[in-house]
Structure 1
Amino acid sequence: MADDDILDELFSLIEERKEELPEGSYTTSLFTHEKGENAVLEKLGEETTELILAAKDDDEAELKAEGADLVYHFLVLLSMKDVTLDELREELDERFGH
């Protein structure tokens, strides 16, 4: 079973890459792309389409892979907009909270 903290770990890595901008990092390339935010928005659109197609094809492996890609790019967008996972959790808690 996956580590419950994987989203926190991934978001932390994204934030680190945003700060340090290491060469050769895909995450760095998203933060420094000449299109800026639009590059990430385009990736979100692409990954969403791929996720939908995987679901329609009942391709479980592809559904998981595309879902992971979508979540990753969503986390990059949150980081770009200086929105934290805690803020996202608070929003979810307000809507569906305990």
Structure 2
Amino acid sequence: MSDEDILDELFDLIEERKAELPEGSYTTSLFTHEKGENAVLEKVGEETTELILAAKDDDTDEMKAEGADLLYHFLVLLSMKDVTLDELRDELGERFGEH
């Protein structure tokens, strides 16, 4: 994976896992968890808290790790809600694309 395409490739993998639900996949477990969407929302909250704590501790390595975890779970949430990365990019473009 190239650095520039990593989010697209990760999102594509998440979408693939959502469609195929392969056994043994952590992503599959998020889509099939008995608590459903709430399981992912809890992970987003948990990772957000851990990122905040790492930032307060000035632990940049932990911030990167928790930030990556948060981003992954956010992408799963987008997929659950059928929101694409292009739609997210469009929203960001509307807000920040034209100054």
- Give 4+ residue runs of structure 1 displaced > 6 Å after superposition: none
Instruction: For 1:44 and 1:59, locate their aligned partners in 2 and report how far apart those are by CA, in whole Å.
Output: 20
SS at match of 1:5: helix
Give the number of aligned pairs: 97
User: Following the alignment from structure 1 to structure 2, what is the Cα–Cα distance between the partners of residues 71 and 22?
Assistant: 22
Q: How many angstroms does 1:40 deviate by? A: 0.1
Cα RMSD after superposing both structures: 0.7
> What is the CA distance between 1:87 and its match in structure 2?
0.2
CA distance in 1 between partners of 2:62 and 2:42 (Å): 20
1:57 corresponding residue in structure 2: 57
Q: Which ranges in structure 1 are unaligned for 5 or more consecutive residues?
A: none
Q: Which amino acid aligns with 1:30?
A: L
**Alignment pair present for 1:4 and 2:4:** yes
Shift of 1:9: 0.4
SS in 2 for 1:23: coil
Structure 1 CA distance for aligned equivalents of residues 80 and 66 of structure 2: 21
Q: Residue 79 of structure 2 aligns with which residue?
A: 79
1:69 corresponds in structure 2 to: 69
Measured in 2, the distance between the counterparts of 1:84 and 1:6 equals 15
Q: Which residue of 2 aligns with 1:15?
A: 15
Q: Matched residues, percent identical?
A: 88
Task: Specify the SS of the correspondent of 1:83.
Answer: coil
TM-score by length of 2: 0.96
Question: Which amino acid is 2:72 matched to?
Answer: Y
**Rounded Cα–Cα distance in structure 1 between residues aligned with 2:11 and 2:94:** 21
| Whole-angstrom distance in 1 between the partners of 2:57 and 2:5 | 30
1:11 shift after superposition: 0.1
Q: TM-score by structure 1 length?
A: 0.97
